[in-house]
Every structure is written in C-alpha cells, then in structure tokens.
Amino acid sequence: MQLLDLRTEARALAPILDATPEARRAALATWRGRMVNEHGSAPVFAALADQLADAGAPATQVEAVRAMAEEEHRHGVLCGAVVEALGGEARAPALVEQPLPTHADVDRFEAVTRNLLSVCCLSETVAVALIGAERLEMPEGPLRDILTRILADEVGHARLGWRWLADHQQRLDAERRERLGRYLAVAFGHLEAHELAQLKPGGRVDPALGICDGGAARALFYATVETVIVPRLEALGLPAAAAWDARHHPESAVNSAA
Amino acid sequence: MNPAQLRALRAASRVTFTLGIFGCAEDAPTAPAPDPVEAAEEADAQVDAAPIDEADAQHELFVDAATDPSLDAGAPVPADAGPEADGALVDAAGGDAGPHCDLNAPDYPACCDAVGWDFAAGCMAWGPPVPPALLA
C-alpha cells in the first residue's frame, strides 16, 4: 500500500486557521482530497514533458512543462499545509500512478495533442473556473493566499493547451481534426465522470474554509464546458460540440467516424 | 450561478485566448454575455489580474514552439516508461502485498481504513487526472 506523506513539507507552511471542530472535519476531508489529487497530477505533467520531448518539442518548452509537475507537487504540499493547519495530518492513500496514454495509433504530435486537450484544455480550464470561484467567495487571509498561488499556476497549465492548439492550427488537417473530435468524446466523458464523482451536492458549505457547494460547483463545471471550452474548441476547428454530445456513448463517435 | 461563479467563468474564458502565430481569435463566441457583476469585476481587476499576468509571463516560453519544424516526426509514440518515483510516497506495507489505494481497486476500502480516510469530502476535485486512452 502506498501512502502519500507530505507532513514534513506541509507543516513548515501551515497557516493559522480558526474553525469549529465540525468545520474542521469537513474541511479536512476536502483539503486532504485535494492534496491527493494535486500531488497525483505531478507525474501527469512529468510524463507530458517526456512526451513533448519525444515529439521533438523545444527544450525550453519541455522544461517549462516539467516545472509544472513541480508546481503540482507544491500544490499538494500547500493543500497538505491546510490539512495540518486544521489539525490533521498531511498523509493519505496515494493515487496509483498510471502511465500517460501513448496513443500509438497516431504520430507523436497528435498523441501529445490529445493529452494536452484532456489535461490542459479540459481539466485545467475547469480547475481555473472552480478555484477562481472559490477564491472569490473566500475572505482575505492565508487560505485565500494559497488559492491565489494555486490558481496562478493552474491558469498557466490551462493556457499551455490552448496556446498549443492556437500555435499548431496549420498542422491540424481535416483528418487530424476528425480524429481529435473522436478523442474529445472520450475525454469529455472521462472529465464529467471525474468531476461528478468528486463534486457532491448536499454537503456542508463553508466558503471561508474552502468547502464549496458541490451542487453549485457542478453547475459551474457544466457552464465552463458548455459556454467556454466547447465554443472555443469549435472556434479552433475541432468538432467539440458533437464530441460533448457523444460523451456518454463515445464508442459510437469512434465507430461512426472510423 | 452567483456573481463569483460568473466572474470565475469569465476568467476561465479569458484563459482560452492565447496569442499564437495566427493571432488572437477574439471574434470567437466563447465569452459569456455581459453580466451584472461587470462593475464589481472591474473594481476587483487588480486582484484578478495577478494570477493571469503571472501565467502570461510564464507562457512566453511556449511561443517558440509555434514554428518548430522538428515537432512532428510522424513516428509512433514509444511505450511509456511509467511515472517517476516520488520521495513523498511511502510503501506502508513494506512491499506490494498491501491493499492498493486505487479508487477502482477491490481493496481500496482496506487502504482507506488503514489511514482513517474520510469519504465526506464534497468538493475536492482538482487535478488533472491522467488522460484517457482512445477506445479500442
């Protein structure tokens, strides 16, 4: 069994927080979960950097993405610092690390584009909206400072994907766009399942401690996908609207376009 | 949605606009319609600008990638060597014999029991998770 243990690093950064025992319990669960998720994203970016290097991306770009892995690790520590500040311990079951899909059916450029779509254009853009809303609802203080720091990095992570798509428009011919549309159907379904599994309506809500309303967060998730991500991908020439519609049966999108 | 969510949505929309080699596609219909919190947003622009601007500076690094002809070798992607080791991860069972803490693993509950895991979290998603593979 692998445990994620960030206690040493987190305790050095733990802010001073004031909360009732009930609020601490709810906040502990949320922040410990975020600690796990954020730390678990570090190897995603590390693998993405390797994939970019394999695809021949400039060294400066590869190193910048590798730095994003460090940022995700730091986010895990910051979330762990909140856990420690709330009276808990910054340790938890670690996510089982899984390899980044290699997408061996396509060339390296398209393979890394698929992963950038999923990681940056989808997941991290949703994270920008969710963290941004939470930050705006949080009073000034050390916890908001932590969210500000995390949000700044997440904005950069999201922009990596959007800039990639914008910069490589000429390389996305019709066949590639069609294949990326098929992949988007899978990625949208994956994203929705991930978000809904962790944004649960009906729980305690305490914006001062970063405990958001799961129902409202779900609404924001859907709004972000439907009014920001899908239209922007469409504007960049990818069939995102059809992919979003096909997310619950992506195999049909794959088969019909094959 | 409440005003904070509307503002966050607009911030997310701004993130999707980047200055590539073909310029900004500012005419794309991605930004939500003007909302009643416009004035408040402007008043708080300094706060909002901080993370966006930091990211802008950071991502100047990516401009070079736009015209790099070496990117597409047209070759299949080699097998992934797997994630790198992480010093923060400890093997609590002294090996792989213990329960796996993968959400989908059958012994996930045992792993959670071992560390007093609390399932009451209601809004903990961030991430990102590992991307999915395309269906076979």
Q: What string of H, E and C letters represents the secondary structure of A101-146?
A: CCCCCCEHHHHHHHHHHHHHHHHHHHHHHHHHHHHHHCCCCHHHHH
Report the pLDDT averaged over residues A77-86: 95
Q: Distance between terminal CA atoms of chain A?
A: 41
Q: What is the pLDDT of residue A221?
A: 95
Which residue from A89, A224, A72, A87 is spatially nearest to A150, judged by alpha carbons? A72
- Whether the pLDDT of residue A214 is over 80: the answer is yes
Q: How many CB pairs under 8 A join A and B?
A: 384
Q: Does A59 touch chain B (CB under 8 A)?
A: no
- How distant is the Cα of A89 from the closest Cα of chain B, in angstroms? 10
Which residue from B32, B6, B63, B107 is spatially nearest to A232, judged by alpha carbons? B32
From the CB of residue B95, how many other CB atoms can be counted at a distance below 10 Å?
8
Q: What is the pLDDT of residue A219?
A: 94
Q: What is the pLDDT of residue B42?
A: 43
Chain A residues within an 8 Å CB radius of B66: 167-168
pTM: 0.77
- Whether the pLDDT of residue A136 is over 70: the answer is yes
Query: How sure is the predictor about A97, in pLDDT bands with cuts at 50, 70 and 90?
Result: confident
Q: Does A246 touch chain B (CB under 8 A)?
A: no
Contacts (Cβ under 8 Å, ≥6 apart) of B21? A166, A167, B66, B67
- How distant is the Cα of B84 from the closest Cα of chain A, in angstroms? 7
**How far apart are alpha carbons A33 and A205 in whole angstroms?**
16
Residue from A3, A95, A125, A126 to probe the interface with B (highest B Cβ count within 10 Å): A3
Q: How far is CA A216 from the centre of its chain?
A: 18
Q: What is the pLDDT of residue B49?
A: 44
**Percent of chain A that is helix, strand, coil (3-state, to 5):** 75, 5, 20
Query: How sure is the predictor about B112, in pLDDT bands with cuts at 50, 70 and 90?
Result: low
Q: Does A155 touch chain B (CB under 8 A)?
A: yes
**Which of A165-169, A249-253, B100-104 holds the top average pLDDT?**
A165-169
- How distant is the Cα of B98 from the closest Cα of chain A, in angstroms? 5
Q: What is the pLDDT of residue B106?
A: 57
Which of A3, A163, A217 is closest, CB to CB, to B59? A163
In terms of DSSP H, where are the helices of A169-224?
174-198, 214-224
Taking a contact as any Cβ pair under 8 Å apart, which residues of chain B between 11 and 40 contact chain A?
A: 11-13, 15-22, 25, 28-30, 32
Q: What is the mean pLDDT of chain A?
A: 92
- Reported as type and span, the H/E element at residue A93 is strand A91-93
- Angle CA(A80)–CA(A86)–CA(A90) in degrees, nearest 5? 25
Q: What is the pLDDT of residue A44?
A: 96
Give me the percent of chain B exceeding a pLDDT of 70.
20
Report the pLDDT averaged over residues A27-50: 92
**How far apart are alpha carbons B52 and A124 in whole angstroms?**
14
Q: What is the pLDDT of residue B123?
A: 65
- Whether the pLDDT of residue B30 is over 50: the answer is no
Q: Residue written as tokens 């009906």?
A: A202
**How far apart are alpha carbons A133 and B51 in whole angstroms?**
13
Report the pLDDT averaged over residues A154-162: 95
Q: What is the pLDDT of residue A47?
A: 97
Report the pLDDT averaged over residues A192-208: 84
Report the pLDDT averaged over residues B43-55: 42
- Whether the pLDDT of residue B82 is over 50: the answer is no
Which of A55, A96, A163 is closest, CB to CB, to B100? A96
Contacts (Cβ under 8 Å, ≥6 apart) of A258? A182
Query: How sure is the predictor about B48, in pLDDT bands with cuts at 50, 70 and 90?
Result: very low
Q: What is the pLDDT of residue B90?
A: 59
Cβ <8 Å between A155 and B84 = no
Q: What is the pLDDT of residue B1?
A: 84
Report the pLDDT averaged over residues A63-89: 95
Q: Do residues A130 and A220 make contact, with C-beta atoms less than 8 angstroms apart?
A: yes
Which of A124, A126, A166 is closest, CB to CB, to B20? A166
